[in-house]
Amino acid sequence: MNESNIKASYELAKDRYAAIGVDTEEAISKLETVPLSIHCWQGDDIHGFLFPNQELTGGIGVSGNFPGAATTPDQLSGDLSKALSLIPGSHKVQLHAIYAVTNKKKDLDELDPEDFSYWVDWAKQEKVGLDMNGTFFSHPMLKNGFTLASPDKDTRDFWIEHGKRSRKIAEYFGKELGQQSVNNFWIPDGYKDNPIDKLTPRLRLINSLDEIIKEPIDEKYTIEAFEGKLFGTGVESYTVGSHEFYDNYALTRNKLWTIDAGHFHPTEDVSDKFSAFLPFGKGLMLHVSRPVRWDSDHVVIMDDALIRMMRSLVRDDQLSKTNIGLDFFDATIDRIAAWVIGARATQKALLLGMLSPIDQLKEDENKGDFTDRLAMTEELKSYPFGAVWDEFCARNNVPVGSDWLNEVKNYEKNVTFKR
């Protein structure tokens, strides 16, 4: 895109926003301070490197076979670097335990921080932070669909050990990279059909989690986050780690609660949950995702649900207590494009939230002037937000508009399609 056009459009937009009391410069600087945690698993359809041929289990699934999926650490990190070069701002990357890079044969209960030194070296070079996820699925120790809540002690012990090791790895990320690494826990445990006992599995899960987090670790380096779910495919009747379960667990253990946008009933407004939790809780981790009729993990786009979520965090000034991670996987399209589309959409939604006269709107609301509130929020929808977004991209040295797509096409031709 022509540089002087970008500037000229931005200057006009800046004036339009200034006229309603919105400082576009402030919005641009603020957006620069919001890191996203980009999920590595979009790049290889959640295969990982430890057991790449293991079938994906735990009720999640990836559809499609677009050519060029990464199958080696260098391919995946290279693809991530490419995607990061097309996303404005500084970010983090979320790993999963199965992405360990080691030439020893190691199981999930044997992983050590050094098995992730490959990623730490890459993160230092790329100037990104790292977040962590233990991998409690796609493994033979998922017994009858259960891990930490299993009735079988050996099964629980295996996964408890894995959880403990995931904390050490996250702590290592924090120490090496000078950041707080969020260590997210999601387990698939539950039943396809109606259970008899709904309480005991939850009591077992509490015990297992308490055992995992028993040893104190400095929060400067890592903090745990717990992700609940309504249901999964094959786990339709009962999910041990439900939302209320983890909401309460996070509150009583002073940890983060993870809200995955795909894990609720489709008619629920996920954005409404943040302000109900945050006044009580330590903070949130988000898994920004797009459920199409179910938890389908479609690539995030700038739809109403995303706009509402990002807007709530901005309007309620809760960004500092919220870690925004992405979680989607679609193998029917270019995987690098998927990252770029989802990340840029999330940032656009944040910017849109920032480009509004929030104090004025709150004042209208408190005065009972609901006419002004409705009229203004409708008018804002056609304000020149795109010109500010373009300027943000230009200042951050990433392609403006759809120019990034050409780079992805070249990368396909020269790299991914040659695999």
Count of residues that interact with Zn ion, criterion CB under 5 A: 3
Q: Is 237 helix (H, G, I), strand (E, B) or coil?
A: coil
260 binds ligand RNT (CB under 6 A): yes
Q: List the one residue out of 287, 230, 225, 298 whose CA is nearest residue 259.
A: 287
Nearer CB in complex with Zn ion: 301/358 = 301
Nearer CB in complex with Zn ion: 295/391 = 295
133 binds, among Zn ion, ligand RNT, none (CB under 5 to 8 A by kind): ligand RNT
* Smallest separation, CB 146 to Zn ion (Å): 19
Could you tell me which residues come within 8 angstroms of residue 118 by beta carbon, excluding any fewer than 6 positions away? 73, 77, 101
Task: In whole angstroms, give the CA distance from residue 377 to residue 274.
Answer: 21
| Residue selected from 79, 131, 327, 334 as contacting Zn ion according to rule CB under 5 A | 327
364 binds, among Zn ion, ligand RNT, none (CB under 5 to 8 A by kind): none
Nearer CB in complex with Zn ion: 187/387 = 187
Element of type H or E holding 288: strand 283-288
φ, ψ dihedrals at 316, nearest 5° = -90, 5
| Residue selected from 171, 189, 260, 297 as contacting Zn ion according to rule CB under 5 A | 260
Residue 295, annotated as binding a ligand: yes
Site track for ligand RNT across 5-24, x = CB under 6 A: --------------------
46 binds, among ligand RNT, Zn ion, none (CB under 5 to 8 A by kind): ligand RNT
287 binds Zn ion (CB under 5 A): yes
- Residues in a beta bridge with 227: 258
Which amino acid is present at 87?
Answer: I
* Active-site residue, from 45, 224, 295, 391: 295
Task: In whole angstroms, give the CA distance from residue 14 to residue 104.
Answer: 56
60 binds ligand RNT (CB under 6 A): yes
Give me the sign of the Cα torsion angle 40, 34, 325, 256. Answer: positive
Nearer CB in complex with ligand RNT: 46/309 = 46
Which residue sits closest to ligand RNT, CB atoms considered?
186
Nearer CB in complex with Zn ion: 281/357 = 281
45 binds ligand RNT (CB under 6 A): no
Q: List the one residue out of 213, 201, 118 whose CA is nearest residue 152.
A: 201
Site track for ligand RNT across 98-137, x = CB under 6 A: -----------------------------------x----
* Active-site residue, from 171, 297, 364, 391: 297
Q: 295: which 2 tokens?
A: 């938890």
Residue with tokens 């809200």: 259
Rg for the chain (alpha carbons), in Å? 22
Could you tell me which residues come within 8 angstroms of residue 175 by beta carbon, excluding any fewer than 6 positions away? 221
Count of residues that interact with ligand RNT, criterion CB under 6 A: 10
Going from the C-alpha of 292 to that of each of 199, 271, 328, the distances in angstroms are: 31, 17, 12
Residue with tokens 């695999």: 419
327 is catalytic: yes
298 is catalytic: no
Q: 127: which 2 tokens?
A: 């100037």
Which amino acid is present at 7?
Answer: K
Annotated binding site for Mn(2+): 263, 295, 297
Q: What is the binding site for Zn ion (CB under 5 A)? A: 260, 287, 327
Active site residues: 186, 227, 229, 260, 263, 287, 295, 297, 327
Annotated binding site: 263, 295, 297
Q: What is the binding site for ligand RNT (CB under 6 A)? A: 41, 46, 60, 133, 186, 227, 229, 260, 287, 327
